[in-house]
Chains A and B, each alone.
Chain A
Amino acid sequence: MVVCCGAGGVGKTTVSAGVGLGLARGGARVVVVTIDPAKRLATALGMEGLADEARPVPGSGGPGGGELWALQLDPKATFDRLVDREAPTPEARERILENRIYRHLSGAVAAQDYMAIERLHELVDEGRWDVIVLDTPPSQNALDFLDSPARITRFIEGRSLRLLLRPPVPGAGFGRRVIAVGSSTVFGLLERLTGAQLLRDLSDFLGAFDGMYDGFAARAKAINALLRSDEAGFVVVAAPDTDAVGQAVALGRRLAHDGYPLSGLVLNRVHLLPPGGLARPEELAPALATAGAARPDSLAGRAAATLEEEQLLGLRDLDAREALSGALDGAPITEVPALEREPVELEVLAEIAAALGAPAPARPAAAGP
């Protein structure tokens, strides 16, 4: 399992697809999972309309049965399937699917993180993949999705919320009555804010999940253990500007701190420093004049300035590499050069796969440090 994470806009989706393609061409059966609402992976893989079910990417095969498949996460469909599987009775299932809170929650952007993890779990269970590559959801905090199983489990457990939504029990012991009084006050306050309807829906929602909590908790725990095992490898993707490098460093540290295996860093879209020095317009101008340029002096000045810009970009990207390796030493850094063409077709992705050192290990663990 390879998890690609990083700040928005660094090319995570493209790198995920490149990693997947490299592994597939090396002989592995690979599925790439993206959660992006903008359907970027579909574009990058040269196929439109990715679905929640994995589909083969045409032309991605390698020797020895290697194949690349891709799927786009549909959080709502995943959530519905989850309810289907876990609901103890058909009635409970219907109650959940019909609930207004559920309908909003399951389609919300906030549910993406959790459903990515859930989908990962389903794919592991399918057992037909050598490697699963996960392109993490674009969230405010790149690691939100790691905490999401715990968050959703807490919400569904909602012990204190249930207590509060239950009417006070007459004849209960003193301690119990105190809690009931306290919570009915909180209940009253919430009701003043939300109106009674919203709280009733919420109460129904939690009621409908009764008996499903253990299943949720067990899955959250299993996936968390898997992500921390040597079956998994995290790849932090960065782009060579100050902001993205800073975020990649923070991400790398947090992963190490929390015990997730960091396979390496990818510095994407690197501009190589052009060899040699700056051009001298006074040398360039006569050459351009001989070649028939109309305004050789002006053209020479503009061309020399353009070469200087390329050098500036090259230097900026060297700075980025230094900052990255200085802050996270030990983690291997792979550079992917800025491509002339954008990676919107398979063959350009192959260039990225090659830059990533595509020779594919059959097992994801081999991608580790």
Chain B
Amino acid sequence: MSSGNGATPDLTGPPLSQRRLCFVLGKGGVGKSTVAAAMGLAAARAGRRSLVIEVGGQDRLSRLFRGAHVGHEEATELAPGLFGISVDVEQAIEEYLTGQLRLRPLVELLTRSRAFHTFAEAAPGLPELVTVGKVWTYAVALHEDRRPVWDALVVDCPATGHGIALLETAGNVEAIAGGGPIRDQAARIHDVVVHPAATGVAIVARPEELAVSEAIEATAALRERGMPVAAAVLNGMRAERFRDDEAPALAAVAAAADGPSSRAAEAALRRLDDQRSDQAYRRRLAEGTRLPVLELPQLVRRRFDLDAVRVLAASLTDAVSPNGRP
């Protein structure tokens, strides 16, 4: 695991790869879904039965794992040992009610009433609560012999603000609901969400100004709320391909007559600049979050597909276990 140059990670609890439940959070467009899929795949390859949970009907898993249909009802196997499921809010509300009221006719009475729909639509935090509640049911699911059904769970959260709302909702409901089964349920969910050993939040960023600033702000906001932030993931890092002492020769060739060779040398010089700036962002992320930073390489391809997820999963495995141990 690589930590920041000079920045000591401020971490309580085990490293991310040892926590069972991982929430993947970050600014829109940083590649959260891909990172979540890669984390799930890395865990599956290490022999852990893994579930990637999609929230908010993004349908990205189905697109990444072409041919797979990730539904709401049952987990779909995406790769050996790797499963995916998508949480549907409406359905989660019904399931939740069934669990609470136990009697199917009562649930139907409630869900058919317009009053209930008005309530459910606008009740502060209800969609978030049932969503995180659904995640919780997967996290605590046990086989008959008391073994957990899932060894690793990865939640692909919505973008930063909504993602934080998702994580804090159970705690909020616990605070405002006063009493009753909803409060008790919320308290049980919240205990799992903030569990410092079982749960970890991973903040994803790209080596870019706005994404890194947002990751640093989000980490502070999550810590303030007592959430177990466990790692920062820097996605799209341009690895070191050129050395500084190679710049003079490249510059000389770049300055020569225009042609493919001089353009290649120019491209190399741009890449050298990009490498440096990516490293600077890595340091800023490490110092600003005081988290271990897992690096994922930039993959340049015309279409982003399953093969790309495999490459990222392999680099995650390398990042968390330099000696090759899972």
Contacts of A303 in B (CB 8 A): 242, 250, 264-265, 267-268
| A109, B165: Cβ atoms closer than 8 Å | yes
In the complex formed, the residue of B with least CB distance to A275 is: B263
Which residues of chain A have C-beta atoms less than 8 A from B303's C-beta? 242, 316
Contact B180 A9 (CB under 8 A): no
In the bound complex, what is the Cα–Cα distance between A146 and B179 (angstroms)? Answer: 35
A40 touches B210 (CB 8 A): yes
The residue that B121 contacts in the complex, of A151, A194, A275, with Cβ under 8 A, is A151
Residue numbers in A under 8 Å from B158 (CB-CB): 140
B191: interface (CB < 8 Å): no
Q: Is the CB of B252 within 8 A of A291?
A: yes
- Among B23-31, B38-46, B70-78, B289-297, the one that faces the other chain is B23-31
Scoring B122, B159, B214, B246 by chain A CB atoms within 10 A of each residue's CB, the highest score goes to B122
**A17-52 at interface with B (beta carbon < 8 Å):** 36-40, 43-44
Q: Do B109 and A284 have beta carbons less than 8 Å apart?
A: no
Contact check, B209 vs A38: say whether CB atoms are below 8 A apart.
no
Interface SS of chain A? helix
Task: Tell me, in angstroms, the Cα distance from A249 to B182 when the chains sit together.
Answer: 40
- Which residues of the other chain, A, contact B264 by a CB distance below 8 angstroms? 279, 284, 300, 303-304, 306-307
Proximity bits, B177-208, A CB within 8 Å = 1, else 0: 11111110000000000000000000000001
Contact (Cβ within 8 A) A186 B109: yes
1/0 per residue A171-182: CB within 8 Å of B?
000000000001
Number of interface residues of A (CB under 8 A): 84
**A283 in the interface, Cβ–Cβ < 8 Å?**
yes
Residue total for B at the interface (Cβ-Cβ under 8 A): 73
Taking CB atoms, residues of chain A closer than 8 Å to B217 are 38-39
> A296 contacts which chain B residues (CB < 8 A)?
249
Contact between chains at A195 and B246 (CB < 8 Å): no
A101 to B, closest residue via Cβ? B124
Closest to A14 in B: B210
Q: Mark B151-192, 1 if CB is under 8 A from A, else 0.
A: 000000011111001000000100011111111000000000
Q: Is A189's beta carbon under 8 Å from chain B? A: yes
A241 at the interface (CB under 8 A from B): yes
In the complex, per-residue mask of B66-107: 1 if CB is within 8 Å of any chain A CB, else 0: 000000000000000000000000000000010011000010
**With contacts A284-B261, A293-B246 known, is A195 near B180, CB below 8 A?**
yes
Give A residues with C-beta under 8 Å from B: 7-10, 36-40, 43-44, 100-101, 104-105, 108-110, 112, 138-140, 151-152, 154-155, 158, 160-161, 163-164, 182-183, 185-186, 189-198, 201-202, 239, 241-244, 274-280, 283-284, 287-288, 291-294, 296, 299-300, 302-304, 306-307, 309-310, 312-313, 315-316, 319, 342, 344
16 more CB-based (< 8 A) A-B contacts, given A151-B121, A195-B179: A38-B210, A104-B172, A105-B122, A138-B160, A189-B109, A196-B180, A197-B180, A198-B176, A241-B304, A287-B253, A291-B249, A292-B252, A300-B264, A303-B268, A306-B264, A342-B210
